[in-house]
Amino acid sequence: MEREPAGTEEPGPPGRRRRREGRTRTVRSNLLPPPGAEDPAAGAAKGERRRRRGCAQHLADNRLKTTKYTLLSFLPKNLFEQFHRPANVYFVFIALLNFVPAVNAFQPGLALAPVLFILAITAFRDLWEDYSRHRSDHKINHLGCLVFSREEKKYVNRFWKEIHVGDFVRLRCNEIFPADILLLSSSDPDGLCHIETANLDGETNLKRRQVVRGFSELVSEFNPLTFTSVIECEKPNNDLSRFRGCIIHDNGKKAGLYKENLLLRGCTLRNTDAVVGIVIYAGHETKALLNNSGPRYKRSKLERQMNGDVLWCVLLLVCMSLFSAVGHGLWIWRYQEKKSLFYVPTSDGSSLSPVTAAVYSFLTMIIVLQVLIPISLYVSIEIVKACQVYFINQDVQLYDEETDSQLQCRALNITEDLGQIQYIFSDKTGTLTENKMVFRRCTVSGVEYSHDANAQRLARYQEADSEEEEVVPRGGSVSQRSSIGSHQSVRVVHRTQSTKSHRRTGSRAEAKRASMLSKHTAFSSPMEKDITPDPKLLEKVSECDKSLAVARHQEHPLAHLSPELSDVFDFFIALTICNTVVVTCPDQPRTKVRVRFELKSPVKTIEDFLRRFTPSCLTSGCSSIGSLAAHKSNHKSGSGFLSTPSSDGMLLRLERLDQPTSAITSNGYSSQADDWASELAQEQEPERELRYEAESPDEAALVYAARAYNCVLVERLHDQVSVELPHLGRLTFELLHTLGFDSIRKRMSVVIRHPLTDEINVYTKGADSVVMDLLQPCSSVDARGRHQKKIRSKTQNYLNLYGAEGLRTLCIAKRVLSKEEYACWLQSHLEAESSLENSEELLFQSAIRLETNLHLLGATGIEDRLQDGVPETISKLRQAGLQIWVLTGDKQETAVNIAYACKLLDHDEEVITLNATSQEACAALLDQCLRYVQSRGLQRAPEKTKGKVSMRFSSLCPPSMSTASGRSPSLVIDGRSLAYALEKNLEDKFLFLAKQCRSVLCCRSTPLQKSMVVKLVRSKLKAMTLAIGDGANDVSMIQVADVGVGISGQEGMQAVMASDFAVPKFRYLERLLILHGHWCYSRLANMVLYFFYKNTQRMSVQRQSSLLGLYLPSRPRPIAVEQVGLLTHTVTSAKSFDVLELQIPSLYVG
């Protein structure tokens, strides 16, 4: 066990800790004798002890109980709940009114029957639901799990429900965690384990979890009996991505606990033989269950409108009853004294006063006219909606074969809102585009590599996707189309829905099949994997490789390279390692047999740092202290030893890369589809496939790109990354820190120790706007600085070019740290890490301190391909009168390009671009645009003011203005201007302008801005809004909109979890809105209207007779009002009307 830094706080006695229970939770081992229990060994006392322990810790056990009722409490509780519904209260009120003798109801008992029936039905349904919940609870509660038993001194099988906080649990591979467990021991020699969180967030990639520091070093197997530490952690909360706490050992030492140490209930253990952990949160306190909030309940517009109508009905009922009551009072008053033969006095012979009679009459009228209030309508609507949801779910044309998923309705009661949408807010990445990141081109050290062959290869996929007859001659036309823009123009747009399936043949079908096969790993379609390298760059890389292989054993191997080659080398190293990609091999288990290194990392303590970075250690091959250190340095200095793996006894890897390294001269991963492109590849035997599992697709794209250049990421452990190069062999980089990506920094960094130079390098990868600002200021005095400056400006030019082509750009940069700098930074970083309170903020600061003075290596351009059918869908939705706004976080050029590609913007229409740098400028610009748009709207012709204004807001296509005079312009606004425009004083103007525009494109917008825009439109324009997105950044927008649609795509499941409807692809939106939305709305609206009609009809007969009579309800007569089978509305639709409706989108009255 390591020694802790001396400065840590002394933990107080447990008693004091418990007083702070309000903020934190204290967990101790259940195996320790509880204070006061003198006889722990007695088996009989076990139950009692447990009870006492439960008492002492006040913690929930792991029993899952989602049922609402018990056998005894069912009736009162259920009735109580049912009477929370106004409808039921109304029902009972009416029924009880029947029993008031004065209202002279005919059969009071009969009136009770329907009420009881409805109550009974609901109660039965609740009972059944509760019972099925109970059954599933029972099943889950009785799952088995290995729990350490104090009595038997070994792990015994227990039910899940018997697990308590503080128990030690042992899980084997592919088992599901029964509770939130702190990882204490893993069979993995590095103290790692992999989990799959698909049950929680749907992400299928493996995540890595790590044994609590201090336990990973144990050589022998972890023994729960010796665990005496106390764990302090947060109170149970529902934040899946956060866990904070610390573990206090016996000797008073303290170590921090992080999210990486926690195994959440519901996740599955993968690729690790066994783990042992202590239960921290159990049962309903687990994060998974705290996150499990029931289905969303949104009220649809129709329903809100209907509620209003029902209120009107109530008002009408009261008015009519009142009218009758007054009339009756007058009648009584008139006839009472007249000895009318038909006047019946009360039973005691006296006569009612007119007022009393009027009151009684009022009550009676309420009973008689109760049908006016369509209580049954609510029940019917529920049924119809359930059917509609079922039919939408079952629509085979909303089924996506590639992902094997169909549309899911997650909100059950807003189906008809789909037919009322006026504004669609769409995300770009992953929604309009596929979010399949394909490496397109890169620039290294100021030189651009256009990757023509790769572009050609991608064109193949697209052509296979579109028209078959358009066969490109193999190999011949390599550089016909070099830019993406031309590809998109080639793409044939006019495909009809019905014929599409035919044409998905050839390589596309193959790709599809492959993607279906490898569905469980994310981001690995052949299109993304097989990148054809640029020959020029490939040559440079292999040159680097060769010269480094020669110079490896010299003092400064990198110094032999020219600056450019060194940049190229660093560039690819950065591409390969600056990520969090996990390497898996589909054929083999990820478990590895390997002698453990003493080396533990990431560097966690100063002592650790000092020990590992003492000068004596740094000079490779020098005499070292102890054999372990010798191992380490041996490993470090001889990083090429894998080229002769069999001779090295240190690493007994399950070899999967044992073919001659020289054979890998080119891309060995080419599929049959693009063999035409790989003249370089002399068809070697196919290498066993490595699979990369990344958290975001562009990471994977970059790693695959690097692999195409023979810079292969072969292994990633938490402390080291291995890269394989053809000549250099395997280089193992010691991974000191990983500063993960976040949306504020917009970059990620890794800190590594370079095996060749032993320097500490920081590789940073991030958005160009951010990284370019963090570069080392270069003086223009010396030649090197000037050169750097030139490279930088060149790179910036290329970045702009990439942006214009619609590529996603990333900058790669590097920083070399001196030992002193590193030590200095490390200290503050460690402080930040160990701080319990605001460590996130501190870590953020620490990351910013590290990522400065960067040296620019290059930039990459990744293409985000447009999804199938997006332009067609957009134009159809447009025809249906829907306004489409695109809100994206991407930069303006990329966004505008994608917008053109998907026909959101048209080349012959005007584009108003709003880029303001200050509040005032924004206001002025808005005013100007407004004036312009208004004058334009008035004159309806290209007017003279246009020229003047377009200077200011850069109309993108002035020449074609005359043709587009009838159209409204489009608006492009960037994030900063959007922030100004969304201010209180400008939002009206902005909205007014946006209303005039055909489409609106907001770039560089944050998730918050997205939701603000949606909220603004929703509240100010009183419009029905639909938000569609796929990523976590769209969640807020999806939640704000009236209808939220999630794309069940690649970026995790957060958007889907927040959404009301989840579609597999953007194009399904067309059918969902224009067909199903319209159907649902018109059917439901018709039904509601019919219900009102029917009820008023029934009522009006009553009314009529009472008017002809004496303002008194006459005896209800059987009135035949035909009841229409409600389901006929939904089930029997006109045959083939979907086609009609899709053909004429204007039927969708937006």
Partner 1 sequence: MAMNYNAKDEVDGGPPCAPGGTAKTRRPDNTAFKQQRLPAWQPILTAGTVLPIFFIIGLIFIPIGIGIFVTSNNIREIEIDYTGTEPSSPCNKCLSPDVTPCICTINFTLEKSFEGNVFMYYGLSNFYQNHRRYVKSRDDSQLNGDSSALLNPSKECEPYRRNEDKPIAPCGAIANSMFNDTLELFLIGNDSYPVPITLKKKGIAWWTDKNVKFRNPPGGDNLEERFKGTTKPVNWLNPVYVLDSDPDNNGFINEDFIVWMRTAALPTFRKLYRLIERKSDLHPTLPAGRYSLNITYNYPVHYFDGRKRMILSTISWMGGKNPFLGIAYIAVGSISFLLGVVLLVINHKYRNSSNTADITI
Name the residues that contact partner 1, by CB under 8 A. 104, 106, 335, 338-349, 364, 391, 393-397, 399, 401, 404-406, 498-499, 501-502, 509, 512-513, 516-517, 1105, 1108-1110, 1112-1115, 1131-1140, 1144
Catalytic residue among 188, 427, 570, 1030: 427
User: Is 407 in contact with 1064 (CB distance < 8 Å)?
Assistant: yes
Residue positions counted in the chain? 1150
User: Is 704 in contact with 696 (CB distance < 8 Å)?
Assistant: no
Measured from the CB atom, the residue of 593 and 1134 that comes closer to partner 1 is 1134
Label the pairing between strands 911-914 and 192-196. Answer: unpaired
In the complex, least distance from residue 879 CB atom to partner 1, rounded to whole angstroms? 14
Euclidean distance between CA atoms 1 and 836, whole angstroms = 22
User: What kind and span of H or E run contains 766?
Assistant: strand 760-766
SS3 1110: coil
User: Is 1043 in contact with 1024 (CB distance < 8 Å)?
Assistant: yes
In the complex, least distance from residue 326 CB atom to partner 1, rounded to whole angstroms? 17
In the complex, least distance from residue 876 CB atom to partner 1, rounded to whole angstroms? 16
Euclidean distance between CA atoms 643 and 662, whole angstroms = 10
Measured from the CB atom, the residue of 102 and 617 that comes closer to partner 1 is 102
Instruction: Give me 1065's structure tokens.
Output: 């692809």
Euclidean distance between CA atoms 1145 and 237, whole angstroms = 47
Measured from the CB atom, the residue of 369 and 956 that comes closer to partner 1 is 369
In the complex, least distance from residue 348 CB atom to partner 1, rounded to whole angstroms? 7
Measured from the CB atom, the residue of 236 and 1113 that comes closer to partner 1 is 1113
H helix count then E strand count, the chain: 38, 35
- Bridge partners of 973? 914, 1002
In the complex, least distance from residue 1106 CB atom to partner 1, rounded to whole angstroms? 9
The conformation of residue 558, written as its DSSP 8-state character, comes to G
In the complex, least distance from residue 335 CB atom to partner 1, rounded to whole angstroms? 6
Instruction: Please compute, for residue 1145, the number of CA atoms within 13 A of its CA located in the half-sphere on the CB side.
Output: 20
In the complex, least distance from residue 519 CB atom to partner 1, rounded to whole angstroms? 9
Measured from the CB atom, the residue of 628 and 1124 that comes closer to partner 1 is 1124
Q: What is the distance, to the nearest Å, from the Cα of residue 456 to the centroid of all Cα atoms in its chain?
A: 33
Side chain identity, residue 234: E
Instruction: Give me 839's structure tokens.
Output: 């460590």
Q: How far is CA 1055 from CA 358, 400, 410, 699, 1015, in A?
A: 59, 18, 12, 21, 18
In the complex, least distance from residue 512 CB atom to partner 1, rounded to whole angstroms? 8
Measured from the CB atom, the residue of 502 and 944 that comes closer to partner 1 is 502
Measured from the CB atom, the residue of 335 and 844 that comes closer to partner 1 is 335
User: Is 264 in contact with 238 (CB distance < 8 Å)?
Assistant: no
- Bridge partners of 439? 862
SS3 390: helix
* Residue partners of 466: CB distance under 8 A and separation at least 6: 491, 492, 495, 503
In the complex, least distance from residue 352 CB atom to partner 1, rounded to whole angstroms? 10
Euclidean distance between CA atoms 261 and 705, whole angstroms = 32
**Torsion angle in degrees (nearest 10) through CA of 906, 907, 908, 913:** 80
Euclidean distance between CA atoms 257 and 234, whole angstroms = 10
Closest by Cα among 433, 430, 523 to 203: 523
- Longest C-alpha distance within the chain, in Å? 130
- For residue 33, say if its preceding peptide bond is cis, omega within 30 degrees of 0: no
**In terms of DSSP H, where are the helices of 805-838?**
819-834
In the complex, least distance from residue 388 CB atom to partner 1, rounded to whole angstroms? 10
- Angle separating helix axes 354-368 and 1078-1108, nearest 10 degrees: 150
In the complex, least distance from residue 1112 CB atom to partner 1, rounded to whole angstroms? 5
Measured from the CB atom, the residue of 108 and 1109 that comes closer to partner 1 is 1109
User: What kind and span of H or E run contains 125?
Assistant: helix 108-141
In the complex, least distance from residue 1029 CB atom to partner 1, rounded to whole angstroms? 23
Strand order of the β-sheet with 192-196 is 206-210, 192-196, 268-270
Measured from the CB atom, the residue of 44 and 396 that comes closer to partner 1 is 396
For this structure, is 427 an active site residue? Answer: yes
Q: How far is CA 1106 from CA 105, 143, 1010, in A?
A: 15, 67, 58
Kindly calculate the radius of gyration of the chain based on its CA atoms and give it in whole angstroms: 36
Measured from the CB atom, the residue of 279 and 1084 that comes closer to partner 1 is 1084
In the complex, least distance from residue 1070 CB atom to partner 1, rounded to whole angstroms? 16
The conformation of residue 925, written as its DSSP 8-state character, comes to H
End-to-end CA distance of the chain: 68
Instruction: Give me 693's structure tokens.
Output: 């599992």
User: Is 276 in contact with 222 (CB distance < 8 Å)?
Assistant: yes
Measured from the CB atom, the residue of 704 and 1111 that comes closer to partner 1 is 1111
Measured from the CB atom, the residue of 241 and 498 that comes closer to partner 1 is 498
Measured from the CB atom, the residue of 41 and 1134 that comes closer to partner 1 is 1134
Just list the catalytic residues. 427
